[in-house]
Structure 1
């Protein structure tokens, strides 16, 4: 009887072992399914962030565990599609860096067409990526095209195009173009002022103020033009030219000693433009106004490679009050130092 009981235990033991193995196998398979699902979710998150390579690695790892996983197979196709578009956009960016803007924008247009009639969060992300690259390329093209433009109207057209591009680089170039408008207006009006074309000079400044209404340099220069225009008209009306000349001669010594140049420097900005900046002080005992600083630009060998002048702002300086001046030059790449050659002003 005892032997019969023992024989009965043998098949029972095998049954227990088989059941245990099946349970272990089921939990093992469940564990794999869980890992694969985690990989799938993480891969989709990375794909939505534009991290295509990391997403592809996860999908491939998941397919290695579950080769017939339909969703992963679909994800693999979509992520490869996104990576291919991204590589095309990178190629377009490189073409733009090489100044081949038409080629770059044509590539972007091709990518846009590939996204037509495709809906969903993933494709929305790809469209945003395309818009980002397109905006950056258009901004580079605009900045390249305006590099040699020297009229306010031409630069204003570029500002109009930039207004439709929403990215940080567009705002940066917008600011640079407005600064260029300010400097062109300043330089143009300055030449007109020297020829006593006061109204035309004011028109130029007013036009530039449309694009930078709070610019201190333009506002100060406008005041300078108005003051000189008023002074000139008053002198003409009162026929005081001879008296003014005599007064100018009489005040020659005071004029020579009225201004102290505290500093002047030149440096090149990131776009290769030469920036001139300086500071002066009114050391006279009377107020002065319309102070203009003239300077020469030298290379390392002491050769003059450029010159210019700038009005000080604020335009009206009380005794011991300091004022600043600045100017910008385009196309001077070998400047080593800047020296003030003379300073002019009016005594109040």
Structure 2
């Protein structure tokens, strides 16, 4: 039987054109034998499917290999990040993204690397700014770096934040030291104290203690001056303000108690208080009136700011408790020339038998700091229970 070699329909020997597809039929009968096109028609889809399957398998295998390699680059990059080798980590994350599109973890890590490298440069710049004493600019750049990390988290981020915090504390500490070298006044010291307490280092803690001690000494001196002049309200205001900065200061708490007692005594029995003070000075009277207090020591020194400081210690040698002990002393030159006379109260305010108390007074703005000076006690007065 004869067939059209184009569409496969059966033909007759004498036909010149296919009655179905209309194409010219071959004159050679051999080319019209068998339904050859039908055989090709079922083989072609099979071969196409097989080829597509092979291509799919090859693509899948290649994709898996690239994905595995991308993950390997990513894991290596994570290790470099923890080692703070950000440049190497950045290259590894870039390689991972070249092998695998839409690799979100690598994209996020690469974005973090851009920030980390920038912050690394900022940290180096802050060290140079610190050398140039440009503290504000250095702290501002570190604050901005910390803000840049707000959208990130994890161990690597914590490492950078710790470095920023450490660098910030270093800068703030150096700024504080520089400010203290400028001999700040009392108001500036109060501000510097808050700055010092905000720095979480052992050295800053020591500086805070030193600043607080300066504030306490200044407050004690000024309040004592008002107390000596019977300006009790002024003295109390000064002490309360000082306690804001040193709430546990025994020295100021004791002085506050003394002020309160002195105010009551002054308002209710001023004359009686004067007579009692005069009586205690009489060596003829009994021990509890005249010799209740024993001076153990008194000395004059200088503090770190070269201010004159008078320190001393007394002891209650009476048989009853005494309180509101006031020591009046004279500062003289070695030649005996009197420089000044001052009064200071002993703390704690009340001493029981055999107990000791201390007194201390810092003299600011004296013009005789370079002279050889000595201190002598003129009188000691107190009250009995």
TM-score between both structures, scaled by the size of structure 1: 0.58
Of residues 295, 301, 305, the one that matches 1:260 is: 295
> 2:122 maps to what in 1?
85
C-alpha contact (below 8 Å) 1:209/1:215 kept by paired residues = yes
1:104 aligned onto 2:139: no
User: What pairs up with 1:215-230 in 2 under 5 angstroms?
Assistant: 215-230=249-264
1:214 aligned onto 2:248: yes
> 1:344 maps to what in 2?
380
Listed one character per residue, the Cα deviations across residues 21-50 of structure 1 (whole Å, up to 9, x for unaligned) are xxxxxxxxxxxxxxx999988764443xxx
Aligned length: 284
Of residues 261, 272, 279, the one that matches 1:247 is: 279
Q: 1:39 to 1:224 in 2, by over 3 A?
A: same
**RMSD in angstroms over aligned alpha carbons?**
5.1
Secondary structure at the counterpart of residue 314 of structure 1:
coil
Listed one character per residue, the Cα deviations across residues 270-301 of structure 1 (whole Å, up to 9, x for unaligned) are x88877654322234554433344475999xx
> d(CA) in 2 for partners of 1:240 and 1:303?
34
Deviation at 1:83, TM superposition (A): 5.2
Secondary structure at the counterpart of residue 186 of structure 2:
coil
Deviation at 1:155, TM superposition (A): 4.6
C-alpha contact (below 8 Å) 2:332/2:375 kept by paired residues = no
Listed one character per residue, the Cα deviations across residues 153-189 of structure 1 (whole Å, up to 9, x for unaligned) are x5544555566x3522554444444333322221111
> d(CA) in 2 for partners of 1:162 and 1:188?
24
Q: 1:243 to 1:274 in 2, by over 3 A?
A: closer
Of residues 179, 182, 189, the one that matches 2:223 is: 189
1:203 aligned onto 2:237: yes
**Larger-Rg structure:** 2
Q: 1:336 to 1:40 in 2, by over 3 A?
A: farther
Q: 1:81 to 1:242 in 2, by over 3 A?
A: closer
Listed one character per residue, the Cα deviations across residues 98-136 of structure 1 (whole Å, up to 9, x for unaligned) are xxxxx2321343455467645455455334423333344
C-alpha contact (below 8 Å) 2:317/2:354 kept by paired residues = yes
> d(CA) in 1 for partners of 2:224 and 2:140?
45
Q: 1:308 to 1:38 in 2, by over 3 A?
A: farther
Higher helix share: 1
Q: 1:78 to 1:286 in 2, by over 3 A?
A: closer
Secondary structure at the counterpart of residue 346 of structure 1:
strand
Listed one character per residue, the Cα deviations across residues 205-249 of structure 1 (whole Å, up to 9, x for unaligned) are 22322333332111211222223223322334xx54885576355
1:148 aligned onto 2:180: no
Q: Which runs of 5+ in 1 are unaligned?
A: 1-35, 48-54, 97-102
Q: 1:111 to 1:344 in 2, by over 3 A?
A: same
